[in-house]
Amino acid sequence: MRLVEKGVLIVISGPSGVGKGTVRASIFEQENHNLEYSISMTTRKPRVGEVHGVDYFFVEKEEFLDRIDQGQLLEWAEFVGNYYGTPLDYVKQKLDEGKDVVLEIEVQGALQVKNVMPDACFIFIAPPSMEELRNRIMTRGTEAMEVINKRMQKAESEIGLAHEYDYIVINDTVENARDRIMAIIEAEHSRSNRVLEYYNKNIVEVE
């Protein structure tokens, strides 16, 4: 018996290189979850095999800019000439259907979401150590040292924003991080600020 039919918006974020994409994938590989992955919108052209409405919502730049103007994006960013963002209507629809919606986004995007929907649940995925983060960034490819150092600097400044989040989840192993996030999602459904109004109206006052 869950007290509120509306879903919870779960924002999974963290520094680049921390492995948040792997953690998110592991969450959705589980059976019997009631989660919905928020599909991003982009102006980038589809790659071979990518499907509209599955991998991304692919739109023209004009439509994307219109959506920005009309406040129809929960968060957005430009990256090497392409726009990426989260359609607000899709998220709201799924929440109204009672689905917990999972966003996996960069730190700057998460802070945008916090401005628009402060009652979302903000989870910061953190590395078990700075050395481990450097290892993960280095083993991603054969980048030049300069690029790696720049990424580390960016990651460090992002880690400085961890206090903006409700939870800090260490990604020591993917399974541990996944289990912690599943516990957090379950717990959030009992948080009194989410359920109190509903409880008073539908349980206490009905006799």
Q: What are the backbone angles phi and psi of residue 80, rounded to the nearest 5°?
A: 35, 55
Please check if 16 is assigned to a binding site.
Answer: yes
Is 1 a residue that touches a second copy (CB under 8 A)? yes
DSSP label at 83?
A: E
Which of 87/127 has CB closer to a second copy? 127
Count of residues that bind a second copy according to CB under 8 A: 41
Among the residue ranges 30-38, 87-95, 105-113, 188-196, the one whose residues contact a second copy (CB under 8 A): 188-196
Question: Is the CB of residue 64 less than 8 Å from the CB of residue 75?
Answer: no
**DSSP structural state of residue 156:** H
Tell me: does residue 124 bind a second copy (CB under 8 A). yes
* Residue 62, both tokens: 């004009």
Please tell me the distance from the alpha carbon of residue 6 to that of residue 45, in angstroms, as a whole number: 34
Judged by DSSP in three states, 74 sits in strand
Q: Is 114 annotated as a binding residue?
A: no
Binding site for a second copy (CB under 8 A): 1, 3, 123-124, 126-131, 156, 159, 162-163, 165-170, 172, 176, 179-180, 182-184, 186-192, 195-196, 199, 203-204, 206-207
